[in-house]
């Protein structure tokens, strides 16, 4: 590996990332006027350390070396940059949580930081009213940084590294014109995507202030979380805490947009070619799932009386429009893996919860900020299954698999199968670990508590928590439902879930490969 080039990258990384720590400090100064030494240290110390480290690397190691472009990256260098960048972001991001004492221990700080940057939205915080505004903003800002980070990686870097089916983006995901890449250089690619990302965030912020009626602070935090499909809200009861139809409608629209392929959106908005949306089979399936699930859950909630309770614990009067309002929002929040809540869907009928669980696994479109298996992978899986069934009748059958009239190479298909296999393995292992650990007693546990014994996590909680972490969703079912949190989880369990968050966010392969001994052997 070319260490001077890698050090050059990490010097810029630390300077840029260290500067971001000053933003929450400025917000705290605006709202609190006077800051204590503890609050100053929480933001100034990591900013100073990272910026100093960045300038040190730049001056000592890099000033005499020629600059190289990102397309010259080898695969090993690309994997290392991807993995270490995210690990460092999470590691540095824990410092404010520890120094402000927003979290009780290191494991909780790592969990909260990982949940932010991976856009998961699961939290261990329980007292939102007394949490500093700088921490509230930092959580949302970490969403926004992580959301755009995965877009740039997905569209610009990961396809070049042949990571687990990322090549399935086709022209819409891998380029803005024809079949070419978005741009020949990562800087140009990132610039174009950042422009669209920032535009959507700014537009949502404006709409949440007017006509939504939110304060600017709440609007910008919710916009950060929505565009990144994260789910951290400044309101302790999530979006349901506002009880505002305008806010719910606006956030639903932008959640749906955030679950779409960003490269495709850039093409559509740039050329005003809205037919391109319909020409993408992945988007057609994505919208079909949204509409079908919303209608089915609406009918189920309408049929079942007293099924809807808000995230503030209030019962909702039965009626078709009320059922449609809450079903539509939760379907969009779960399918896009945003994880916002307006209703306690853990109390919904089993049929509705089953549909939500399926959508948790599916996720959004490739090239979006959403997590999950992605619609395109599910499509390829079913096409592959259909072809294999055909081969049982006709052993010599030759039938290429295509998406949007583009033939998918068999090596990519097997990459998708490998990804799904690793995904299931990780889900099972995480579930087993969560069930085996002795956790603290949660508030109002859903499973029986043995007398004089350790409280053990039930299977519903363990499986949904693991699925939520892998797919960057946030809330799960039972004891980690939409009106509960992860504060009761054992410290090792929090670290395990944090690892799963990063594993799922980086598409599994790009993190696991760093753990292989062969990766570090000199060649």
Which residues does residue 501 pair with via DSSP β-bridges, in sequence order?
A: none
Between CA 294 and CA 328 the distance in angstroms is 5
Query: Sign (positive/negative) of CA torsion 366, 370, 373, 374?
Result: negative
Tokens representing 403 are: 């998406």
Walk along the chain (523 residues) and give the pLDDT tens digit of each residue.
666 667 777 888 889 899 999 999 999 888 877 777 888 888 999 999 999 999 888 876 656 555 544 445 667 777 788 888 899 999 999 999 999 999 999 999 999 999 999 999 999 998 888 889 999 999 999 999 998 776 666 555 444 444 333 333 332 233 323 333 444 455 566 677 788 899 999 999 999 999 999 999 999 999 999 999 999 999 999 999 999 999 999 999 999 999 998 888 888 877 777 777 778 899 999 999 999 999 999 999 999 878 899 998 899 988 999 999 999 999 999 999 999 999 999 999 999 999 999 999 999 998 888 999 999 999 999 999 999 898 888 888 888 888 888 888 888 888 889 889 999 999 999 999 999 999 888 877 877 666 555 678 999 999 999 999 999 999 999 999 999 999 999 999 999 999 999 999 888 888 888 888 888 876 6
Between CA 438 and CA 434 the distance in angstroms is 9
Between CA 411 and CA 220 the distance in angstroms is 43
Between CA 450 and CA 391 the distance in angstroms is 53
How many CB atoms sit inside 10 A of residue 166's CB?
28
Give the three-state DSSP class for 129: coil
Q: Which residue has the tokens 């072809």?
A: 387
- Contacts by 9-13, CB closer than 8 A, 24 or more apart: 9/81, 10/54, 10/57, 10/84, 10/88, 11/53, 11/54, 11/55, 11/56, 11/57, 11/58, 11/61, 11/62, 12/54, 12/58, 13/54, 13/85, 13/88
Domain ranges of the chain: 1-81, 133-433
Q: Are 149 and 81 in contact (CB under 8 A)?
A: no
Whole-angstrom Cα Rg for the chain = 23
Between CA 456 and CA 448 the distance in angstroms is 9
Tokens representing 370 are: 């959403």
Tokens representing 429 are: 């292992």
Which residues does residue 401 pair with via DSSP β-bridges, in sequence order?
A: 408
pLDDT in tens, 351-399: 999 999 999 999 999 888 899 999 999 999 999 999 989 888 888 888 8
């Amino acid at each position: 590996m070319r260490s001077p080039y890698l050090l050059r990258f990490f010097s810029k990384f630390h300077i840029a990332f260290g500067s971001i720590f000053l933003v929450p400090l400025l917000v705290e100064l605006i709202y609190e006027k006077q800051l204590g030494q503890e609050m100053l240290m929480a933001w100034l110390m990591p900013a100073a350390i990272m910026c100093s480290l960045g300038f040190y690397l730049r001056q000592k190691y890099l000033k005499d070396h020629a600059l190289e472009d990102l397309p010259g990256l080898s695969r090993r260098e690309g994997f290392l940059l991807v993995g270490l960048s995210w690990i460092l972001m999470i590691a540095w991001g824990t410092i404010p949580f520890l120094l402000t004492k927003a979290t009780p221990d290191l494991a909780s700080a790592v969990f909260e930081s990982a949940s932010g940057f991976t856009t998961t939205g699961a939290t261990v915080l329980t007292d939102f009213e007394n949490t500093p505004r700088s921490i509230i903003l930092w959580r949302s800002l970490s969403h926004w940084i992580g959301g755009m980070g995965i877009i740039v990686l997905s569209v610009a870097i990961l396809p070049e590294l042949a990571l687990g089916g990322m090549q399935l983006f086709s022209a819409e995901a891998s380029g803005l014109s024809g079949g070419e890449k978005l741009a020949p250089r990562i800087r140009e690619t990132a610039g174009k995507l950042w422009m669209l990302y920032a535009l959507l965030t700014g537009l949502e912020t404006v709409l949440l202030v007017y006509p939504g009626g939110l304060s600017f602070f709440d609007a910008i935090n919710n916009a950060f979380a929505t565009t990144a499909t994260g789910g951290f809200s400044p309101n302790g009861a999530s979006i349901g805490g506002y009880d505002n139809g305008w806010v719910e409608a606006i956030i639903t629209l932008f959640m749906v947009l955030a679950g779409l392929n960003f490269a495709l959106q850039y093409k559509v908005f740039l050329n005003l070619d809205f037919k391109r949306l319909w020409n993408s089979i992945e988007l057609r399936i994505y919208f079909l799932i949204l509409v079908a699930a919303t209608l089915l859950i609406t009918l189920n909630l309408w049929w079942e009386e007293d099924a809807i309770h808000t995230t503030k614990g209030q019962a909702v009067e039965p009626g078709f429009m009320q059922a449609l309002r809450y079903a539509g929002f939760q379907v969009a929040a779960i399918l896009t893996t945003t994880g916002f809540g307006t209703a306690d869907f853990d109390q919904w009928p089993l049929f509705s919860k089953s549909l939500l669980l399926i959508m948790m696994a599916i996720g959004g479109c490739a090239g979006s900020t959403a997590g999950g298996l992605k619609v395109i992978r599910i499509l390829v899986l079913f096409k592959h299954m259909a072809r294999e069934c055909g081969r049982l009748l006709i052993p010599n059958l030759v039938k290429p698999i295509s998406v949007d009239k583009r033939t998918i190479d068999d090596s990519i298909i097997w990459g998708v199968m490998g990804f799904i296999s690793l995904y299931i393995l990780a889900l099972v292992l995480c579930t087993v670990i969560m069930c085996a650990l002795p956790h603290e007693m949660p508030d109002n546990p859903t499973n029986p508590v043995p007398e004089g014994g350790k409280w053990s996590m039930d299977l519903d909680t363990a499986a949904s928590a693991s699925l939520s972490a892998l797919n960057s969703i946030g809330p799960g079912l039972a004891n980690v439902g939409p009106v509960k949190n992860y504060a009761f989880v054992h410290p090792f369990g929090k670290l395990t879930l944090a690892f799963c968050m990063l594993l799922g966010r980086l598409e599994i392969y790009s993190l696991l490969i760093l753990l292989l001994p062969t990766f570090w052997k000199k060649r």
